[in-house]
């Protein structure tokens, strides 16, 4: 069964950042609105800038959460889908890792779609 978590465009999400050239320091966590998060890390998002509510669809498999897609909750238009392995890049890593670490997917709204 797939689950859905809804984020408003102004919802704050964390992004892990490593400061280059600095050793023995923990990653810095930058807070950013969900809309700006999508603008920065999803190169296709510029055409969906008017999205107010983002639905993150995910599934728990063997205890691990897998992000299936992100879509515009109001229109149903897809905003992000995991690309095939050969097209996967660092931005896809940031989207998935930020949602898993800071999205609190299991504590948010919407279960069982």
Residue-wise pLDDT for 33-64, tens only, equals: 999 999 999 877 666 568 999 999 999 999 89
pLDDT tens-digit profile of 9-27? 999 999 987 655 555 556 6
> What residue segments make up the domains of the chain, in order of their start?
3-107
Q: What DSSP designation does 86 have?
A: G
Q: CB of 34 within 8 A of CB of 7?
A: yes
Q: Residues near 11 by Cβ (< 8 Å), separated by ≥ 6?
A: 33, 34
| Torsional sign, CA 84, 17, 55, 35 | negative
Q: Residues near 46 by Cβ (< 8 Å), separated by ≥ 6?
A: 39
């Amino acid at each position: 069964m797939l689950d859905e978590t809804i984020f408003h465009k102004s919802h704050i999400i964390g992004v892990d950042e490593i400061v280059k050239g600095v050793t023995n320091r923990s990653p810095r966590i930058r807070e950013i609105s969900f809309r700006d998060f999508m603008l920065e890390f999803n190169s296709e998002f510029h055409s969906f800038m008017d999205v107010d509510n983002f639905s993150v669809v995910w599934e728990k498999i063997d205890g691990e959460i897998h992000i299936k897609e992100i879509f515009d909750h109001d229109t149903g238009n897809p905003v992000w889908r995991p690309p095939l392995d050969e097209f996967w890049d660092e931005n896809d890593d940031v989207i998935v890792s930020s949602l898993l670490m800071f999205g609190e997917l299991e504590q948010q709204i919407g279960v069982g779609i």
